[in-house]
């Protein structure tokens, strides 16, 4: 099961790479709406493997359907955010989750890099497009 970090099971001390792994699992939980102990997961299928199987081309298959509905008409200010931008943002976020949960602790992304990638995804999503002109109310 993904939630139990292998290096901890071997009796090793808690590490920041273990914390990164846990953070990645939580990130995947938030965006898929599934916990690692959900009934669809078994010995052969885990939360991480399930997300990997859809990443990146079929990411909508694993993203929480309620989240997909709520972002369908996402607006930032007066600007509608395109489905393509939203898709790129979801790929970036779930990519961070997968990078945090790499099996080898030495190959996991750092928390600093995770934060940087998540901020970049946010900024890309919220960045005004060139053809967007803000609505100015003249009162």
- Domain ranges for the chain, please list them: 6-126
Residue 34 confidence (pLDDT): 96
HEC string for the chain: CCCCCHHHHCCCCCCHHHHHHHHHHHHHHHHHCCCCCCCCCCCCCCHHHHHHHHCCCCHHHCCCHHHHHHHCCCEECCEECCHHHHHHHHHHHHHHHHHHCCCCHHHCCCHHHHHHHHHHHHHHHHCCCCCCCCCCCCC
CA 53 – CA 61 distance, rounded (Å): 10
Q: Is the pLDDT of residue 132 over 50?
A: no
Average pLDDT over residues 4-31: 81
Neighbours of 114 (CB within 10 A): 19
Q: Are the beta carbons of 28 and 59 closer than 8 angstroms?
A: no
State how far the Cα of 15 lies from the Cα of 17, in Å rounded to an integer: 5
Give residue-wise pLDDT tens across range 70-124: 877 666 565 666 788 888 999 999 999 999 999 999 999 999 999 999 999 999 8
State pLDDT tens for residues 24-59: 999 999 999 999 999 999 888 999 999 999 999 999
Can you name the residues that pair with 79 across neighbouring β-strands? 76
Q: Please, are residues 103 and 6 in contact by the beta-carbon 8 Å criterion?
A: yes
Answer whether 53's CB lies under 8 Å from 59's CB.
Answer: no
| 6-126 fold | Transferase(Phosphotransferase); domain 1 (1.10.510)
What pLDDT score was predicted for residue 107?
A: 96
Could you tell me the pLDDT band of residue 9, with boundaries at 50, 70 and 90? Answer: low
């Amino acid at each position: 099961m993904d939630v139990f970090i292998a290096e901890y099971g071997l009796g090793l001390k808690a590490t920041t790479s273990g914390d990164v792994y846990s953070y990645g699992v939580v990130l995947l939980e938030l965006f898929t709406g599934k916990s690692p102990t959900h009934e669809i997961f078994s010995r052969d299928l885990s939360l991480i493997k399930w997300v990997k199987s859809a990443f990146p081309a079929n990411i909508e298959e694993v993203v929480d359907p309620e989240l997909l509905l709520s972002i369908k008409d996402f607006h930032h200010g007066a600007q509608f955010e395109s489905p393509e931008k939203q898709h790129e943002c979801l790929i970036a976020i779930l990519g961070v989750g997968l990078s945090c949960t790499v099996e080898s602790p030495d190959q996991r992304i750092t928390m600093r890099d995770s934060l940087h990638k998540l901020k970049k995804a946010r900024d890309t999503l919220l960045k005004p497009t060139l053809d967007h002109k803000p609505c100015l109310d003249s009162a």
